Structure formats: structure tokens, C-alpha cells
Structure 1
């Protein structure tokens, strides 16, 4: 890390000033005269529901988008952040919510990738020493600089991503959903590192949908709603409930089931003794149609492995899986899909969406065989189907022609979920971290989609690390740790019990 810098004098010029920023897309305003300041040594949160404008503000601050109006000042001087390189030269570093580390490269090579100060012939010994210092500062003492990123867990990859940004001696660090894929312990490492960076005099802009961590970590919170800044307040005076009301303009409500679970067990998903070597041991569940089953566990608990095994992505899995009284060939993803199982990965960028394709193209991607004949897709049927799915997923019809990359994280997730809806050949919907990187408003919309899917007679099973989501959405909650079920809660669960099971574990009931 860079040498400590002097603390700013009280009343000095803010390090970052955002002044009446505005930006629109195709004539539709996304950000409307947003203003806030961030001082040296301050950790400043940006919060807001899906589509509130957070991502657009972050892209303008990091040089990815130019504002239509307003300006950005560093140390009181207006700056033109024309691209990421220009921002980096001025000391602005971004950790995006989508991972940019390259799995095929080593940790050291990823650290140097995109670093304008690295140089082609930079001395390897100095680079190794610098990399080792940064990794140790992030609590990654067991990760080697020469280790391929592909060998790291998803959480470790996220920490390397953050370490990469923090290693660039930035004066302004923007963290966009940095803990969305991290366990509690890994999040603590990130918090400690961010606090150390701020203590050195950096300005930190922190974007997260995990409101409790916002209030724990940040000094100040700016709330955006419908592209406008509606409040900027000290975090110490806020509560999670109050922050949610400010973000949404109203209090949220738990979604209750509108129909009883299907009593016909022939429609159930039956899982017996599911085993994945080194990951999952003896998972058993009978999941009824019309109910939502939540798998609660931190990274490495086995919750994600249950879903991936059922979707055919663990070919070494053993056990038995039956759906509608028929055996499911669960070691084969094509066989699992044909049996009626749809899977939504926790990595929509790497395993889900075609980012350069249109919203419409992504929505219909899994049903092209039904939209034409002889290898030709009927354009009219494709448009009608895409429009229908957009309605089911809560997506605006006027965005169907846009590339999915242009959507917010919440709307991208709606596309990912939406293409599994409205299909009579899908009986089970599996979702791994269904609202990862999605704010409170987007989360509510996605929860509505899942509740509607269950009410339509599907078996819905999701894995999550977030207590609020587990309690809000799960009809039945199974806690997991070290590859095994700890407890099963069919009603009556509370946050304290779930956290105890997920972090400490006990014998399965």
C-alpha cells in the first residue's frame, strides 16, 4: 500500500464534488441533477432502488460515461474523466460489481493488468513484493502471486479484484457491490481494508444493497430515487428500516403465498442422498410444488452445490433425483433441462446472459426451437414472445431492442430469471443468489417473480447468504454448513437462529 497521507484539515475542500450531474439514454433521464461531496478519509455510501441511478453515477465518476450536464471536481478543480485510463491517472479506481479478473492469468498478472504504472518491463521482483504486500493487507496471506485465479474461490477472486484496485495508489476508490459474493468472514476482511484505505486519506464511494453493512461501514449515506438525490445524512443517525423507506418512498411488505402447496406428491421434486465429493454430503429433500425452499449458507456451505448438482453441473454427483415420479438424469445439464429443471446461476455475466445481445434475444434464447421450424425463427413470434416475457418479468417493453449490457444489474437479473418463466416444460426453478448485486427495489421485484412462479405451481429452490432475503421469501428454510444440512425451518425461523446455524452449525434435526 502507499505511504500514509496527512489527514485533511477540518473545513478543507472536499476531495470529490459531484455537482448537478445529469445523464439520459435515448431521451430518457437516468440521473437528474445529482449532487454530493466526499471528503478525504470519508466512506460515503450511495443507496437506491433498482433504476435509481446509482450505476450511472458510478460510471460517470469512473470515466465510463460522460455527463450530459453538471460536473465532477477533484480537490475543487473540474476534471474531464473521458475514459477509465483518464480516471486512473487522476487517482480514481473502480471495483465493479461484475468480476474483471482473468481466470487463466495468475494473481500477479491480474494485478498488473490495466495498471497504467505497471510498465511492460517492470521489474518482477518489485512487482512480486508489491503484490505480496497488497494480498497480505487484504487478509489473503494464503494466496500466492503466482497462483492462477482459476484456482481461487469466487470470494477469493472478488478479494483479488478489490486488492487490484487498492494497489493502484488511488486517491478515490469506488466500490460497486464489493461484497455481493462474499461470506461474512471475507466481508470483514474487505471492511478492514476499506477502513485502512480511508484512514490514509482516500475518499471511498461505497455502493451496496446490503443496508446493514452500509450503516456499519460508512460515514455518510446519499440516497437516490428515480435519478434524483433525495437525502444525504450521517450514517450514525439512520436505521435499516428508515433507509428502506427513504429509498422506496414507502415501507416494504413480505410477499405471502396466494395458494396452498400442491398436496399431490407426484408433482414434487424428490432428492435423496445427493453427494458431491468434497462439497456436499447426503442432501435429502422432498420439495412440493407451489412452495419456495431457501438454502441458507455461507460460501462453501454446499448450498450452491445442491443447485448446481441438480442442474447437471456436477458430473461427479451421486444420489437420486425424481421429478413428477420420473428419474432426472442430473449429471447431464441437457438431461436436467429436458426433465423440467431451469437454473439461474449466481454469475449472470459468465454463465447466464449474452451481454452484447438484445434484451429480447436474451429472453427468448432458451426457446428458439419453439419459435420457428427448419432452423428458422419467425421474427413476429419472437417479438410477441419477448414482449410477453418482458411483461411477466416486469421489464419495460421499450428496452427490448437495447443490449442487455446497458441495463442496470437489477434489470439484467430480471432478464435472466424471465427467460425461465411462462414455460409449460419447466417445473422446477433453481436460483443461486437470485438478487446478487441487486438493490432493495430490484430485489422486491425479483421476489415477486419468484412468488408468482411458486403460485403458478412451480417448485422454487434458491440459495442465499442474506438473512433478510431468506426470511422474506423462504416458505421452508434449510440451513447448511460444511456440505450438510444443519436445520430445517418450516415457519418460525428467526435471524439469530439462521446465523447461528450458518456460522457455527449443529447436528441436523
Structure 2
């Protein structure tokens, strides 16, 4: 099935044009095709009326297309000036420093960074200022089309306003701006028109002045998926609950509390920057500035210490299995047993026999082919890699709570169903299971209790019947139903 099909829209010079759609609608694929990261199988891309083939990021840049990705690409250890020159194919081999500084100063002034010096280290800038440097970098490449992919997802309201002001200045100079965001209120505030995608196709293109947030949600979802009353698991075990009180992370999360007993699956529903991921990362010991209290099985958890969190019986599955989860160059077997090595040997020496037995047992539990245990985990599909990551946490008598951030990111529908089955079995076996997701279908399918979040705060909680439109409204507007 194609990721996108028959997507069509135009962006005028000086226009700020939004692309909206629920996760999986095709937004990222469209952005990759327009920025030269993917080649379309059919259709045409025209710039100033001429057909172009954007075969790479460099070719796209030659045609005046610049992408400001949601993942910041600035290098903190370099100066603003040095960052501005990174990746610029027009930059001469030998640059005249005086001219480069003057150009950098002009662009910084244009987007509202008058107080930032070209020789200032990016590490000294706030996240919002770094995002503006990314935009300045795109403008310094003489871009005619600037694509902004979730530019305010992790910014405060004040920082977002600075980005909005910069975007308006960019459009005022005649650039076409393509703005991708899940924050629907800011789409209607900032953009001239919006194209809505659903299931890889264009639903409509409309002036933003003609829409409300609720109308935009309906266009994005069509018939909103609906969850019936959550299955009532028999007597959820509150003696084995995970209790979180007043959890806060400066600038990211405020006063989050939740009691999650074993036997039910708790879902944290929120878009990028909502605080849902921060809850899990803070409990897992990955936010050193977190405050509050965490208890598991009526014992305090030292949640500012990742090692102590593990010893307390909490396992964490990150949303980035490649850099925070798996050892990609190691075998599947090694990855499965990586967190339980002390029990597989004596005197610091690993027993190959015990390792084989344990890895085969875990492969069976996770639904992985035992015949492939000797292969690098990188050789597996995305779904099977994720099963290896989740499977590593299962079948352990020293794990009582399982935290998962986007448990099926990058996984096909078959792998998704298998992972959901694993998590349901884990909950039924008496584990506390809490996951964060941006995917409506996943939230409705898997969550017995759904807690919605927006801008670092809880918006609503749904133990019973709820539909996707309500969840989407909470996640994008921050308004409780």
C-alpha cells in the first residue's frame, strides 16, 4: 500500500501553508519527497511552473528548497556562524570571514535574533533560539521554499511566538512556507491556508479563516475511531501499583500524578512536546532535574538514578530503539540477554550454555525466530527489532513495571498486533504497564485507561467510553472534554 496517493496542493509566494493530518496520514512522506529525501513513484513537483526532480537534499537546495526538521541539526559546540555554513552547497571553498559575518548578522536580525552574536556558541542559546538559528540557516541558503516540520513542538509559548514572528518575516520577503504541525490552534493562527491529508490522500485545501479547530479535527479523522468501555480486568492489583505524585520537570512537565495498578494498561496520550514522554523518562531516571515522588509496590523509587530505577524493578523501552535501546552490531541473542548477564554466569564469566537457553526462551516469549538468534539484530525488520527490545524486559522476576514510549513506532500492522499482544500478556501476568503514544488507534486499542496530556499537563482521563475526536481535541487544544 502506498504511503501517499494523489496528494496535490499549491503554495504561493509569500504564503504560509499548513499540512495537517493525524499520524500516519502521509505528512512525513510528503515532506521527504519535497526535500529530496524520497523520490515519488508518480506525479510532478513544480517550482515556479517548472518540473523539478529532487533526487537529494543537495538537489532540493539547488532549487531553493530548505527543510527545518523537527530534530534540531545545529551543533552546540560550534558558533552560530559556523552552524550557518554547515550543509550549504553554495558556500565557497574559501570563505571571506568579514562577508560571512555580515551576512550572518543580516539574517539573524531579519528573524529577530538581534541579541545573538555570530561568534556565540550555540550551546549558550535556548531551545527556541536554536530553532530560530535553524530557520536562519535555511534563509542563508537563499531558500525560496522553506519547510518547517513541527518547529514549535518542544517550545514554550513565548519561544513559539518568536518562531511565529520569524515565519511571518520569512513569508513577507516572498518565501513560500510549508508549515507542518499537530498544534491546530497555531495552524489557524499563523497560516493562510491548510491542506488536510488522511490515509495518504488529500482531503481538502481550505483557507484557515474558514475553519475552527473542531472542524479541522473532523477533516483529519473522518469517522473518528471509537473505543468502547475498557475491559474491566478482575481486581487490578493495587498492592503492586506504580504511584507517581507531583512529578515535574522544569520547562517540560508540571505536577503529574497517577496511580497505575498491575493488571491494567495505562496510556499517556499526547503529541510531541506534550509531556507524555517526559513522564516516562523522568520515572526511568533520565531527567536529573525531575522532582516529585515515585513509589512501586509501596517502596520509594530513586527516580533520579537510572541504575536505581532498574534495581527497583522498573524497565523502560525508549522511543528510539536504535540509539537508546539495541546494540545494532550485536546478535539478537546478545540483545535479548543484555540486561540479565549477572544471572547467566559465575565469577564474572558468562556461561554460553545459559546464554543460549535464556535467549531461546526469550525469543519464544517475544515471538522471534530462534533460528536467527546468531544474526545481528540490525538484520531484523523494524517490527522484530522492537519485539527484541520489548522482549528483553519480559520474563524477569525482578521487573514489576514496564514503561514504553511509542511502543510500535516504525512497526507494520502485523508487528504492532504482536507487540500489543505481548503487552497485554505482561499486564495479565501482573506487571504494571504504562505507555505513551501519539497514535490514536494504538491508544484506543491498547489503553484500559487513557490520560491525555498537552503542554506538560494532564488534560483528561478516560476509563470508559471515548472516541478519537475527544482525544484529538485534548491532545491538540489542551481543552478537557
Give the TM-score, by structure 1 length.
0.65
CA distance in 2, matches of 1:219, 1:74: 19
Q: Aligned-pair RMSD on alpha carbons? A: 5.4
Query: Are the counterparts in 2 of residues 364 and 419 from structure 1 also a CA contact under 8 Å?
Result: no
Partner of 1:352: 324
Partner of 1:70: 43
Partner of 1:198: 171
Partner of 1:10: none
Partner of 1:338: 311
* Deviation (angstroms), 1:211: 2.5
Query: Are the counterparts in 1 of residues 338 and 392 from structure 2 also a CA contact under 8 Å?
Result: no
CA distance in 2, matches of 1:48, 1:296: 15
CA distance in 2, matches of 1:278, 1:82: 39
Per-residue deviation, residues 378-406 of structure 1 (Å, max 9, x unmatched): 887676555579xxxxxxxxxx96765xx
Query: Are the counterparts in 2 of residues 218 and 235 from structure 1 also a CA contact under 8 Å?
Result: yes
Is 1:184 matched up with 2:172? no
Give the match's secondary structure for 2:159: helix
Give the match's secondary structure for 2:187: helix
CA distance in 2, matches of 1:246, 1:229: 10
Give the match's secondary structure for 1:267: strand
- Choose which of 162, 170, 183 in structure 1 pairs with 2:143: 170
Query: Are the counterparts in 2 of residues 303 and 480 from structure 1 also a CA contact under 8 Å?
Result: no
CA distance in 2, matches of 1:386, 1:61: 38
Q: Please list every run of 5 or more consecutive structure 1 residues that lacks an aligned counterpart in the other structure.
A: 1-27, 390-399, 405-410, 439-444, 501-509
Q: How does 1:277-316 map to 2 (within 5 A)?
A: 288-289=261-262, 290=264, 292=266, 308-313=281-286
Is 1:127 matched up with 2:127? no
- Matched residue count: 439
CA distance in 2, matches of 1:210, 1:453: 35
Is 1:268 matched up with 2:241? yes
Q: Please list every run of 5 or more consecutive structure 2 residues that lacks an aligned counterpart in the other structure.
A: 345-350, 370-377, 411-416, 463-472
Partner of 2:413: none
Partner of 2:192: 219
Give the match's secondary structure for 1:268: strand
- The 1:488/1:68 distance shift into structure 2, 3 A limit, reads closer
Partner of 2:414: none
Partner of 1:237: 210
Q: How does 1:298-447 map to 2 (within 5 A)?
A: 308-313=281-286, 321-343=294-316, 348=320, 352=324, 365=335, 368=338, 374=352, 375=355, 387=367, 404=382, 426-429=399-402
Query: Are the counterparts in 2 of residues 261 and 291 from structure 1 also a CA contact under 8 Å?
Result: no
Partner of 1:393: none
Query: Are the counterparts in 2 of residues 294 and 476 from structure 1 also a CA contact under 8 Å?
Result: yes
- The 1:246/1:298 distance shift into structure 2, 3 A limit, reads closer
Give the match's secondary structure for 1:313: coil
Partner of 1:157: 130
CA distance in 1, matches of 2:183, 2:327: 25
Query: Are the counterparts in 2 of residues 259 and 455 from structure 1 also a CA contact under 8 Å?
Result: no
Query: Are the counterparts in 2 of residues 162 and 178 from structure 1 also a CA contact under 8 Å?
Result: no
CA distance in 2, matches of 1:355, 1:217: 43
Query: Are the counterparts in 2 of residues 61 and 81 from structure 1 also a CA contact under 8 Å?
Result: yes
* Deviation (angstroms), 1:376: 5.2
* Deviation (angstroms), 1:113: 0.7
CA distance in 1, matches of 2:233, 2:286: 32
Per-residue deviation, residues 252-274 of structure 1 (Å, max 9, x unmatched): 44776443897765323356798
CA distance in 2, matches of 1:242, 1:320: 40
Partner of 2:119: 146
CA distance in 2, matches of 1:349, 1:155: 27
